[in-house]
Amino acid sequence: MTSYETEQARLTVRRQRDGTYDVFDGAGVRVSEGHGERLLAERALDKIARRNSRTVRECLTCDDTFLSEGPHNRMCNCCRRRARDGAWLASASVTGTRPSGGVS
């Protein structure tokens, strides 16, 4: 179990007496502003969970430390950009097309 999953599981959306939806952490502390709709509160919960999961990690490629966005994020921005450029060049030479989008 990673800390990311733990943090996310602990956050909950609750309806307040005034009809707004707020995000609470595992200790019952309100961690968001009031939201008029549950969907908006759930989006806020996702954002908070992502922010909470950010931690300093060592880059898989160059061993530099960087601020990771979560368990999926194991390379520093520098190496990620290099890997993406490499993948871009490789796929461009194989398929002859320019891939749109890209890897985050």
**At which residue do the structure tokens 């490789």 appear?**
90
State yes or no: residue 61 binds Zn ion (CB under 5 A): yes
State yes or no: residue 67 binds Zn ion (CB under 5 A): no
Q: How far apart are CA 91 and CA 88, in angstroms?
A: 5
Question: How many binding residues for Zn ion (CB under 5 A)?
Answer: 6
The correct pick among 13, 41, 45, 76 for binding Zn ion (CB under 5 A) is 76
State yes or no: residue 62 binds Zn ion (CB under 5 A): yes
State yes or no: residue 58 binds Zn ion (CB under 5 A): no
Closest CA to 51 of 38, 37, 68, 65: 68
Q: How far apart are CA 73 and CA 71, in angstroms?
A: 5
Which span sits near Zn ion by CB under 5 A: 6-14, 50-58, 72-80, 82-90?
72-80
State yes or no: residue 20 binds Zn ion (CB under 5 A): no
Q: How far apart are CA 41 and CA 20, in angstroms?
A: 9
Tokens for 56?
């300093």
Binding site for Zn ion (CB under 5 A): 59, 61-62, 64, 76, 79
